Chains A and B, each alone.
Chain A
Amino acid sequence: MLSVILGSRYQGNEDHALIRLLNSLEECGANKKNCEVLIKFDSDEEKYGLLPSQSTLSKLTNFTIKKFVYERGEGRDSLQNDYTYLFSQRNPASKFVLIASDDFVFEKKGFIDQILAIEDEYAIVSHISLCSHKWKPEFFTSQRLLCHSPQEKSRKAIDIALNRKNETEKSPVPIMCLREMGAGLPCFSVKFVETVSGFGFQPNVDNWALSIAVALRDLFEVNVWHSIGEYWKRFGAGLDFQDRRQKKSFNNMIVGHSALTNNVGYSENPYYYNLLLQQVKNIFLNVAFKECAESDSVSTVECLKNLSELCIDNIKMQGGKNI
């Protein structure tokens, strides 16, 4: 089963076309067995009577739609938190979760079954191929060193680290890769999201997904990326972007080409990359231990426990330090 999750808002959102999205999903082959949709609405819209009732939603399509209503909070800027909560509410039978938005439509018939046919436990599914640009370890080394610097100074130093001479110069790799080639509506295997404990630290989950996939490939030779070709189309981005340009976010880790990040295309808080790389490492360790467990015909936990018993004295000797 595929769980489609999204946050939807009516007020101030001229691009809103939730029904169109749901209909397109059904037209592309969604049914009760292969799909469910989980939607987070804002509680202020419930108060104003703007939201469809659960019973209305249930009659709309032939698949299950679950409605969740709670405070808007920071709205778009905290979407990743909404996704993480909706993830915890999914049908346990779902293998994949797809991040959607109410200004998109699905276009490709059979794309759900195509996704569900992917057998990898750790997978990100996208409409595009993974960009060929390389991860630059020295870039992240710089980020780590800079994480205590004042923000402006950090940005300047990041530019130097990237050989970026001025603001108008085109972003070099991997920034171009991270900035321009998000995955639109990315789709994740459930195990992947469980392992990284959610959807990252900023709302542009597509960009986060791409960053993780590039780092996994280039640092650990693990490929989680699956391209299935175009399966969606966006209608409304223009208005959305205009709105976003007018507001500075509380979250200085947002990566994307909106003005929230002053079009720099990378996180203003370089610590973001350290946090992201730890998630990458967690995926790698899980993949590695799973392979180990499979070769010994024991569970990952058992495999790790055996190793733990061997290492425990060593850990104690080192005062719990990372060995």
Chain B
Amino acid sequence: MITFILSSRFQGNSDNRLFNFLTSIKDCGGNANNCEVLIKFDTDDLDYGLCPSQEKVQELGLPFEVKCFYWNRGSGRNDLHLFYSHLFSERNCLSKYVFIGSDDFYFHKVGFIDELLAIHDDYSIIAPRAIPYYEWRDDRPFTRCALTQNEAEVGFPIDPTFRLHIGEFLPCFSTKLIEVTSGFGFQSNVDNWAALLASYLRAKFSIDIWRPVGELYTRDQQYDDHRLMEENYNNMLIDLHISIKNAYYFDLVEQQGLNVAMNIIHGLNNT
């Protein structure tokens, strides 16, 4: 089983195509046996009657289970990784993979769910395309001395390669991987975190957990930059346009990578 998890908002989100997203899963072969969808809605959307209730979603007659969760918006998009981590804990424990969804995407590859489920890796990240692997520079300035500092304060440039977008938009993770990393990282661009983690494992341990499977989905809208205008409290955010300000992030991801490597190499089946 694959668990699709996403956070959906209606207010101020003209890109919201949630029902297209759900219908596309059905059209591509989603059924009660091979998938479930977990959606986090914001309570203020619920209060204003903008997002569907659990009953309303059931009336759609989708052939798989859709579970709705409602809690506070918090910092919205900037807290997505936290929302995903909680939804992960609510999944059907039979699920092998968790697929990060978004309400402005839709799937177009018929049979992709069963195709993904045929991959039998305990530790893997599935994405449409391969990623370029960057060398892991030991001399990089991502050292503890750079903690919470920006480039000007540190006095040397932060590696520009990680300013590039190396993510995959909607990554899919084996559940064991997320258990080992205790969630989806420390900032909301989970695709970028996934690529960084995979790069580290490959560079340091020759372990390749990235599984490119070809195109699966399309984004309904043009990549929007509205979030760039939003105030963001998290100085570990990183993507195409945003250079990371807190280099300690890389130390934290390194530790997650080390944990994954240790569990792969020396797994103990007692949990």
Q: Which A265-284 residues have a C-beta within 8 angstroms of B?
A: 269, 271-272, 274-275, 277-282, 284
Name the segment of A51-59, A84-92, A156-164, A223-231 touching the other chain: A84-92
| B contact residues around A81 at 8 Å (CB) | 79, 82
A91 CA to B146 CA, complexed, in Å: 10
B-facing mask of A97-115, CB < 8 A → 1, else 0?
A: 0000000000000000000
* Contact A308 to B205, CB < 8 A, known contacts A194-B255, A278-B180, A320-B121: yes
* Contact A73 to B86, CB < 8 A, known contacts A285-B263, A315-B207: no
Count residues of A near B (Cβ-Cβ below 8 Å): 60
Q: Which B197-238 residues have a C-beta within 8 angstroms of A?
A: 204-207, 209, 233-236
A-facing mask of B246-258, CB < 8 A → 1, else 0?
A: 1011011001101
Q: Which A53-90 residues have a C-beta within 8 angstroms of B?
A: 68-74, 78, 81, 84-85, 88-90
Count residues of B near A (Cβ-Cβ below 8 Å): 62
Whether, in the assembled complex, B64 has its beta carbon less than 8 Å from a beta carbon of chain A, the answer is no
Q: Are B74 and A74 in contact (CB under 8 A)?
A: yes
Report how many A-B pairs have Cβ atoms within 8 Å: 163
Q: Are A277 and B271 in contact (CB under 8 A)?
A: yes
Q: Are A272 and B89 in contact (CB under 8 A)?
A: yes
A286 CA to B71 CA, complexed, in Å: 35
Whether, in the assembled complex, A253 has its beta carbon less than 8 Å from a beta carbon of chain B, the answer is yes
| A contact residues around B145 at 8 Å (CB) | 92
Q: Are B267 and A323 in contact (CB under 8 A)?
A: yes
Q: Are A274 and B179 in contact (CB under 8 A)?
A: yes
Q: Tell me the interface secondary structure of chain A in the complex.
A: helix
| B contact residues around A315 at 8 Å (CB) | 207, 264-265
A269 CA to B71 CA, complexed, in Å: 17
Q: Are A85 and B234 in contact (CB under 8 A)?
A: yes
Q: Which of B71, B73, B144 contacts A250 (CB 8 A)?
A: B71
* Contact A92 to B252, CB < 8 A, known contacts A278-B182, A279-B182, A285-B259: no
Q: Considering the complex of A and B, which 4 residue pairs feature the smallest CB-CB distances, nearest first?
A: A73-B74, A322-B267, A70-B233, A320-B121
Binding site for A on B (CB under 8 A): 69-76, 79, 82, 85-86, 89-90, 92-94, 120-124, 144-145, 147-148, 176, 179-183, 186, 204-207, 209, 233-236, 246, 248-249, 251-252, 255-256, 258-259, 261-271
Q: List 25 A-B contacts (CB under 8 A).
A: A70-B233, A71-B76, A73-B74, A194-B252, A195-B259, A197-B183, A252-B90, A253-B89, A271-B93, A272-B89, A274-B271, A275-B182, A277-B270, A278-B179, A278-B180, A282-B180, A282-B259, A284-B268, A285-B262, A285-B266, A300-B258, A304-B205, A308-B265, A315-B207, A319-B120
